[in-house]
Amino acid sequence: MKATCNLIRPDNGVRVMISVSFYRIDRKLQSTFNSRLSKMVAVAAQGPDFTGVDEKLEVALEELATYYQKNQLKPNPSKTQVCAFHLKSNDARRKLEIHWRGERLEHCTTPRYLGVTLDRSLSIRQHCINTKGKVSVPNNILRKLTGIAWGAQPETPRSSALALCVSTAEYAAPAWTASAHAKHVDVAINETARIVAGCLKPTPVNSLYPLIGVGAPLVRRAAATDAERTKQETDARHSLHQHEPAGRRLRSRKNFMARSHTHEGSIESNRVTRWTQQLTTREPPREEMAQGKHLPFAVWKSLNRLRTGVARCKTNLLMWGMSEDDDVMCSCGQLQDMSGTLLGVENNLKKQPPKGFAIKINVIS
């Protein structure tokens, strides 16, 4: 057994929940409300202070003990955890004192429920930090794929990033995408896009995702949230089907029903529509890699740096403080900046185009 909570941020008072893992409960416990999911039943109580909540849950646990005894089940208080959700900063470190069968239950500050780590104020901060760490591990593998030793084709790192990084970062996204700490996850995904595209750190983030054909994290999470809202409206099997949310008392509260919308069509089309509204480029975005994906990764990386206008030319190296002298002139006698580098590449391609290398370089501004 462990503590659980529904993702409803408490506006006032204290909400305490305990989940009990066994087969079925057919009746409502006194002074509490139950939430049933699969084989886990969450027992919750709410009150203005800790004292009243402790008493309610102890009464509920006594009823559970009776249920266990009648159905030949044996509870294990040593593995049972409880947690409190409230917005009282003065009581942030206060632990619950709830006893069951003579043992004090363990107080857990960051319980996990269905893979989502919760905290006292339901800000989902710890879950976002944990997700960032999970995405950083496969990022190291992607660096190996894009190195000069292995030299994988550009499509291979993209497929690996979608399977290992993007899928991990989008787990249960409709539940936590409105959190102010979702930016921690964006940092890790931006690094993933930078590795796949082969671009440098000064490259603008909005220029990375059109190159690899993957929507920005905020766009993908919003599309996943709309898809979940569509299921909630149309699927009678959904746990929130025909649910009427409570009135919104505080403007800072961003619950699922208030910030999501239904959509028609597939989730892919919704992602492209949202992505198009966000970008300011002339060409509409597509969930496909930019031209040159059939080339070796070293060439693909150089093309992307030319497209974004961020490469290791002498003017950029001097601006970044990485140049040993102030010489910014090329061997041809002209200023070595990105415009001159791009013009020189196009001229060389026109004179001696490589076999199978017919590509147009569009600079992303």
148/182 Cα distance (integer angstroms): 33
Position 283 scores a pLDDT of 66
Residue 338 has pLDDT above 60, yes or no: yes
Q: Determine how many CB atoms are found less than 10 A away from the CB of residue 77.
A: 17
* 65-98: pLDDT as tens digits: 888 888 888 888 888 888 888 888 888 888 888 8
344/339 Cα distance (integer angstroms): 9
Position 184 scores a pLDDT of 94
Position 30 scores a pLDDT of 47
Position 17 scores a pLDDT of 54
Return the H-helix or E-strand segment holding 346: helix 338-351
Evaluate the CA torsion angle 205, 208, 210, 213 in order and state its sign. Answer: negative
Burial 156-193 (b: 16+ CB within 10 A, else e): bbbebbeebbbebbbebbbbbbbbebbebbbebbbbbb
Residue 34 has pLDDT above 70, yes or no: no
Of all residues in the chain, the percent with pLDDT exceeding 90 is: 21
Q: Where are the beta strands (DSSP E) in the chain?
A: 14-21, 33-37, 40-47, 81-86, 99-100, 103-104, 106-107, 112-113, 116-117
211/154 Cα distance (integer angstroms): 11
Residue of 138, 185, 183 whose CA lies nearest to 162: 138
* 139-151: pLDDT as tens digits: 999 998 887 766 6
Position 188 scores a pLDDT of 95
Position 31 scores a pLDDT of 47
Higher pLDDT: 150 or 176? It is: 176
Residue 161 has pLDDT above 80, yes or no: yes
Question: If pLDDT is split at 50, 70 and 90, which confidence band does 159 have?
Answer: very high
Residue 26 has pLDDT above 50, yes or no: no
Position 21 scores a pLDDT of 43
**Phi/psi of residue 84, each to 5°?**
-120, 145
**Domain boundaries in the chain?**
14-117, 125-241+256-278, 302-351
- Residue 159 carries which side chain, given as an amino acid letter? S
Question: If pLDDT is split at 50, 70 and 90, which confidence band does 165 have?
Answer: very high
* 103-142: pLDDT as tens digits: 888 888 888 888 899 888 888 999 999 999 999 999 999 9
Question: If pLDDT is split at 50, 70 and 90, which confidence band does 14 have?
Answer: low
Note the pTM of the prediction, 2 decimals: 0.78
